[in-house]
Amino acid sequence: MTTNNLSPAFRRVLLKLSGEALLGEQSFGIDIKVARSVAEEIKQAHALGIQIAIVVGGGNIFRGVSASAGNMDRSSADYIGMLATVMNAVVLQDALEKIDIQTRVLSAIDIPQLAEPFIRRRAIRHLEKGRIVILAAGTGNPFFSTDSAAALRALEIKADAILKGTKVDGVYSADPMKDASATRFDCITFQEVLEKNLRVMDASAISMCRDNNLPIIVFNMRTPGNIASAVSRAAGVGTLVCQQKP
C-alpha cells in the first residue's frame, strides 16, 4: 500500500506492540524476518512526518503472569519480563536502523550498554529530532503491564494517541477468533470498554487514558500499510476508543 494519498491525523503517537508481534510462525522467541517487516511498516508511517514512540511487550520471551513463570515470586518474574522487552527493543532498533531510520532505545531499568535511561525531556527531544524512540522495560516496576507502561509513557511524552497493534481489525463485542457472531465497533467509549470487559488493554491503562482523554486506535498489525492508515485515520481501519462518540 502506498502512503502518497495519506495525511497524518496526529503529530505524535505511541505505538504499542505485543511481543507476540515479533514471533512470526514460531512458538517462542524472535523471528528476525518479521522484525524487519514490522520495521518497514513503521518506516511507512514515519515517512508521513509524524513522531513515533514505541512500547513493545516481552510475551514472546517471558511473561511474569504466565505459566512460564511457574511459582516464581511475582516481582522477580515481572523483572525478567522487563528484560525481555529490552531484548525486543534492541531487535526492533537494529531492524529500523538497517533501513536507515534513526532510533533510540530508552529503558526504565538502567542498562547503559544497551539503552539510555528513560528521561521524559530527553525522549521528547529525540522525537522532535525525527528519531523513533523505543521505550523498554515497562514502567520499571513490577505488577504493571506494558499496557500500563504504554498509557503512562504516552501521557508523559504528550502523544496525541495510542496505536494498539493486534491480530484483529479492531474492537469486537466478543473474541472474533472464537465467536463468529462477534461484531466490530467503529468507535467505542472508554467506559463501554470497561463495562463490557473487552480487554482492549488492561483496566488500569484504559482508566488512565479515559481520565486524561487520550484516544486509542486498535487495528490489525498483520495487514500491510495499516500503521500508516491508522495514523491517518483512514476509513474502515481499526476502532477508535475515546471519551465520547463523535
- pLDDT tens for each residue of 12-53: 999 999 988 888 888 788 989 999 999 999 999 999 999 999
Domain regions of the chain by residue span = 12-170+222-228
Distance separating alpha carbons of residues 199 and 16, to the nearest angstrom:
14
pTM equals: 0.93
Distance separating alpha carbons of residues 140 and 83, to the nearest angstrom:
10
Residue 147 in contact with residue 202, Cβ under 8 Å?
yes
Distance separating alpha carbons of residues 101 and 129, to the nearest angstrom:
12
- How far, rounded to the nearest angstrom, does the alpha carbon of residue 170 sit from its chain's CA centroid? 14
Name the CATH superfamily, with its identifier, for domain 12-170+222-228.
Answer: Acetylglutamate kinase-like (3.40.1160.10)
Q: Over range 76-82, report the average pLDDT.
A: 92
Distance separating alpha carbons of residues 124 and 31, to the nearest angstrom:
30
Q: Quickly list DSSP for the chain.
A: ---TT---S-SEEEEEE-GGGGTTT-SSS--HHHHHHHHHHHHHHHTTT-EEEEEE--TTT--TTSGGGTT--HHHHHHHHHHHHHHHHHHHHHHHHTTT--EEEEESS--TTT-EE--HHHHHHHHHTT-EEEEESTTSSTT--HHHHHHHHHHHTT-SEEEEEESSSSEESS-TTT-TT--EESEEEHHHHHHHT--SS-HHHHHHHHHTT--EEEEETTSTTHHHHHHTT-TTSSEEEESS--
Q: Is the pLDDT of residue 70 over 80?
A: no
35's grid cell: 522484525
Q: Sorting pLDDT into bands at 50, 70 and 90, what band is 64?
A: low
pLDDT in tens, 195-214: 999 989 999 999 999 999 99
